[in-house]
Structure 1
């Protein structure tokens, strides 16, 4: 850890923030030195994101004091924070989708930084230097989730920052990309930049951070040096219980093939998108198949084609089958009637409508489960379903009428996944199921997926988290450039194998298991 300094870069004294029905921050004390990489740990809903927003000026504390380089400051807005040298990468992206990468970065940096056109060379140079290549002319709506995360990070790295706040910055990065980011962060810290790091990936916290503050229930629960703790010890500090949170699950062989993708070709009309070539894939009832890949290599396109958000012409309907039923030309509602459930990559706006209550969000995909009768909504049944999701999956929320927007990322993810699982699907497709959630929530989600698998469902998980894929998948493959490797038993697969597939180094095709 850097040498101690008498004047912290940032100091919080008894910061409190209350929302209706929730004390998000309760007299928080926090101090960060110049050049220190400081982790902020805690469960979803522990108050981490609220505290970061107070520091960045997105919201104001109800009470307490903030000192910046020893001087009291009232952080009124993000523009003031940026002027002082504070940059923040949010867990939920703060980008304008109809603007280009360069236009988004220019807006964040202000007129003094130059026009978007003038910034383009620097964006290319900075993004390449830090291993997060971006094309400045691309429209944000055409970017994958991982690429949007890169925009957020590069946008901060282009500023003259003294404090960098990172809220789950590696959630959609590959291990190699994360390693490159850590090199950058260590260099920034060595140059005197302070870094406040929020992550639920405890291994990277232990490897990167000099110190950590743990929040629980909106209060400071303790401090530690992550390098001196195990993952299990850090997890127990966060959740306050001794139960094992890092689970090992037995592998399964599965039964008859439910999802069969044969020779799937799709040309993406978006010049910046990824086309799919010769995709072959089988997922059997009673197994979990994991698909890895660097963001932007066809994951979004494959998800759209499997979910029905993107359909194919009738003469290509046989390329995707549920059992022996051709479905590639069917819309999402028709596929759901055949047993499909779907957890999209983006929670707010895709998995849930931010302004709607949890009860109404439950209705969005479960309306075929007897929640509508003769054209009338059965409010009591919707309420019962929402309550069942909340109770079974441990969703922390005041009630079923709480808006989806007000939930933490992990709690909203548990609600969305629970909504799909309680429909007892024959096929569940889940994208990044534990992206940005704490270890407690991830354990809940993993156990739910394993239980659904053991009940006979076919499950396809697309994720950039290799640790997760190795933990829960029975077979593994990877996408690269719109092509997919052959699937291989997880027990027979090394991380280096998957890394090679992610780079396009495919083995000779291996025979898919025969349908039972």
Structure 2
């Protein structure tokens, strides 16, 4: 396929390929994004979505293929080059300094040397113009997650992009905030802006997107008008077969009388000026149960996880009980020895050490619970046993990797998540 010459496409990708070791993360991908459209990029975790958009934004360079911008071949060697072309990106995980104001955070990404007062005035005017009201003088640490996302969007819009890449933008929003975002996207589309929209929420893709490109195992497997599809048909394109409904199997032979986890009047004062206090939380989790903690991101879930996992110890040991034992004052290792396991929200850095191999990350979390299997007499590490255990996890969880035992940072977010779940 050659570049479009009639001017209808803003961005065209031809044969874009990215290889990490033995893993082809993106395999000869073709993609067209027209002017004034919202284009969905769909795929399972590990399908290649993140790798593709990183190449479009200049965070990664492709091994092969071409990118055309306004019909001209371009090399996007860095995010700075992408921004100069007119490509902006709002990442799923924000890059904001909590101790700075919204205007100060915005200023860090601009290169024009304007005074903060001027940037604040522009940000305020732009935010109200697009229905995303924002106080530029507010400290980021005092803002909700939805308000923080507004900073990211306004920061992007101040760079006057023609193409805006949005990575899972509604994952941290309330339904009302999501509706407001959709209104903003409709406004941007009406102004001729193009949007590449990454989401697993298929109903919202059907609602706002004009076209969709579907990736599977690093390859384009289909294009469609999502409004003409059902959520089931879109899911089928993503995974390659029918998606079976999850049916809860009966749990037999398990004692449900005694909770495995008891939270008793768990309270905690904020550890930092930007932390959320916990007040009198009570819940029980019994064998065979799945208990959900609902709430918009940033409303104490992280603090609750830290208290339950042992990252933050409690003065009242009885506020956390694991398998009938007071555990609030136990370390993470102590709680693991009681049978607890932990999968944190942040995979890279919190759930896994980025520059350590998968087998080494396995040893980090299970050296106490699997000490006899992994550590020999005299404290010598049994490398072969650890690597074999790591390989079993990789195979069981279908972790797609670029080397036999890669560093955690070499995996896509979805594949690293699968490894962490399997490890625990």
TM bracket (short chain): 0.7 to 0.9
Measure the CA separation in 2 of the matches of 1:287 and 1:377: 36
The CA distance in 2 between the partners of 1:151 and 1:349, in whole Å, is 24
Identify if the C-alpha distance between structure 1 residues 321 and 217 changes in structure 2 by more than 3 Å, giving closer, same or farther. closer
C-alpha distance in 2, partners of 1:132/1:81? 27
Structure 2 stretches lacking a partner, 5+ long: 1-5
Q: How does 1:359-508 map to 2 (within 5 A)?
A: 359-368=359-368, 369-370=370-371, 371-374=374-377, 375-420=379-424
Structure 2: distance between partners of 1:272 and 1:341: 27
Which residue number in structure 2 is paired with residue 43 of structure 1?
44
The question of 1:162 aligning with 2:162 is answered yes
Report the equivalent of 2:208.
208
8 Å Cα contact 1:144-1:300 kept in structure 2: no
Residue 77 (str. 1) matches residue 78 (str. 2):
yes
| Residue 307 of structure 2 is aligned to residue 305 of structure 1 | yes
Distance 2:393 2:127 in 1: 41
- Give the Å deviation of 1:19: 3.0
Secondary structure of 1:165's aligned partner? strand
Distance in structure 1 (CA, Å) of the matches to 2:138 and 2:385: 48
Distance 1:250 1:310, change over 3 A: same
- Deviation sequence 1:355-395 (CA, Å, 0-9, x none): 11111111111112132234222212211221111111111
Q: CA deviation at 1:282?
A: 1.6
CA change 1:151–1:376 in 2 (3 A) is farther
C-alpha separation in 2, matches of 1:133 and 1:285: 46
State the distance in 1 between where 2:149 and 2:393 align.
30
Rounded Cα–Cα distance in structure 1 between residues aligned with 2:404 and 2:137: 42
With structure 2 as the length reference, what TM-score do the two structures score? 0.87
Distance in 2 (alpha carbons) for counterparts of 1:410 and 1:386: 17
State how many pairs are aligned.
Answer: 411
Give the drift of 1:123: 5.1
Q: How far, CA to CA, are the matches of 1:8 and 1:238 in structure 2?
A: 25
1:437-473 C-alpha deviation (Å, 9 max, x unpaired):
xxxxxxxxxxxxxxxxxxxxxxxxxxxxxxxxxxxxx
How far the C-alpha of 1:351 sits from its partner, in A, is: 0.1
Aligned to 2:3: none
Instruction: Name the stretch that deviates more: 298-307 or 233-242.
Output: 233-242
Per-residue deviation at 1:43?
2.7
Q: Which runs of 5+ in 1 are unaligned?
A: 421-516
CA distance in 2, matches of 1:195, 1:419: 37
SS of 2:347's equivalent in the other structure is coil
Q: Confirm or deny: 8 A CA contact 2:96 2:140 kept in the other structure.
A: no
Q: Contact 2:12–2:32 (CA<8 Å) still a contact in 1?
A: yes
